[in-house]
Structure 1
């Protein structure tokens, strides 16, 4: 790990890396610090995606009593890693995500649906034994905003947008590449895919 950068930049593959790029969004999974100085994958089940600036609040990145801030290049990365919009600092996006969740799972407008309900479903779909849960499917069947990994490009992640793939890096997206005709490893959790299909549009960094 770099002596200059904390290991708090999250990849679509669910990894924590130390790089200079800060990212457009911040994340929270609770306090990830262990007493021996190592870092856990998660603590609280409410994995949220936040803006990096809100009402002048300042977060001490090294305060062991607080949650451990994480950073994402854009919201699609956060969704692939298993996060959802924060209900406080991103209230409008949270409400849009919640309404898309209702459409995706055919819940009536007056049916109970809490952040805890969504977090429970997301947690069951995003991680198992501290490892990211993935599955195989045809890339062409995935909605825009989904992340996939290709068999012939190990260790890389690609965003699906407008029927094309864009290679992800902490610095941004590369130029578009053709959509493969074969199955790929889907990184975005299944409940989030359903929400994307139901019309939720994540905030994306520039492509190409």
Structure 2
């Protein structure tokens, strides 16, 4: 029996193989360019492009052969928060309204990066800064975080939501922990700093409460 494809993404950005299947309404697809071998669909590299996208599982009835030769590698996420934590951002094509609101909040949070106070950030400029932050890796947990941020503590990943940390599992968030029960000295922040600023500004992806269990899908 053929094993699962290596195309599920963890909050830290690692691409793994698991039989868990992420479905609507929370599941997401994305890409980082062509990552797999055309011969056996094995992952050869962690990324090929600086544009790390979060896409819809379904868009205008289109169908794709997963990991087709010489086509971008379809990656799958439990939800938007995992994808944001891994360093991705909303796709400007299939998720245009969300990308627009994300970019508008990004511009308000990052005006100090440009001499023009009202600079309109392009997708490429956002990707460049996110790429720098991805390469820098996780940071120590030193200050309060906004809802939607993800951390790693003692090898487990957690989503902060409404005053509690929700432990990530590929099947869904499986345990809630009070914020005070995790020692900050043993934690590191996974969500990139620039994305944290957008979350702190109040931007949220359009999806149900994140602690629901993942449902099955045909991806």
Normalised by the size of structure 1, how large is the TM-score? 0.87
Identify the range of structure 1 (81-90 vs 28-37) with the bigger mean alpha-carbon deviation: 28-37
RMSD: 2.1
What displacement does 1:83 show? Answer: 0.2
What displacement does 1:160 show? Answer: 0.5
- The question of 1:146 aligning with 2:149 is answered yes
The 5 Å alignment of 1:93-132 reads 93-106=98-111, 110-127=118-135
Which residue is 2:216 aligned to? none
Which residue is 1:70 aligned to? 75
Which residue is 2:184 aligned to? 182
| 8 Å Cα contact 1:73-1:205 kept in structure 2 | no
Which residue is 2:14 aligned to? 15
Which residue is 1:135 aligned to? 139
Structure 1 pair 60–116 and aligned structure 2 pair: CA distance change class (3 A): same
Aligned residues between the structures: 199
Any stretches of 5+ residues in structure 2 without a counterpart? 213-219
CA distance, structure 1, for counterparts of residue 15 and residue 94 of structure 2: 23
| 8 Å Cα contact 1:104-1:197 kept in structure 2 | no
| Cα deviations by residue, 1:72-111 (Å, 9 ceiling, x for unpaired) | 0000000011100001111111011111101211377852
Structure 1 pair 159–204 and aligned structure 2 pair: CA distance change class (3 A): farther
Point out 4+ residue stretches in structure 1 off by more than 6 angstroms.
Answer: none
What displacement does 1:181 show? Answer: 5.1
